[in-house]
Amino acid sequence: MTLSLPEIHFRPLDGNDADIFSVWLSDPEVTRFSLSSFQFPQSKVDISQWLNTINGSKSNVSFGITLGETGALIGYAGIASISSLNRCGEYFIMIGSKEHWGRGIGSQVTKKVVEYGFETLGLHRIELTAFANNPGAIKAYENAGFQHEGVKRESGFRQGKFFDKVQMGIIVHDWLTLKES
């Protein structure tokens, strides 16, 4: 049986998305593997201000993730720390709506953002780190062509313990080879 994925769309984020982000950021299960700044409570005003600023930088691109069937915002993804000199950046994703976890959406979003990074931004390399105890994310990144490059030992602190993070990356020529196959 083949699972049909919904059509994924991207849209800009803004302060009007603060309500849904507030719900996501107050759920420890959603933020467990996310940015360190998401580990602490934030007001809707703080979230709204952050959302109003994330699209105005040359070193970061962010996309709201919506699905064709509903148009509802289910998460966000993008590339941060973009270096125009080194032509590289760091991929990130958060699927905030848990009902969409485990459906292959993360892999599809990752592929689309990587394509944007290489084709539109002209990057040479995109990298990321993932908590080693987050096999779903690691699988999504592998499905999108990211390769394991190493382990950052005990580099993430969650739930009172340190966890390893997996360093992964994809180079434009590897992506082009995948795209052609």
One digit per residue, pLDDT tens: the chain, 181 residues? 345 566 899 999 988 899 998 888 888 777 766 654 554 557 778 888 878 878 767 899 999 999 876 788 999 999 999 999 999 999 999 988 888 888 888 889 999 999 999 999 999 999 999 999 989 889 989 999 999 999 999 998 888 899 999 999 999 999 999 888 7
| Residue 45, pLDDT score | 82
What are the sequence ranges of the domains in the chain? 8-180
Question: pTM of the entire structure?
Answer: 0.87
State residue 1's pLDDT score.
39
pLDDT of residue 36: 47
CATH code at 8-180: 3.40.630.30
What DSSP string describes the chain? -PPPPPPEEEE---GGGHHHHHHHHT-HHHHTTS-GGGGS---HHHHHHHHHHTTS-TT-EEEEEEETTT--EEEEEEEEEEETTTTEEEEEEEE--GGGTTSSHHHHHHHHHHHIIIIIS--SEEEEEEETT-HHHHHHHHHTT-EEEEEEEEEEEETTEEEEEEEEEEEHHHHHHHHH-
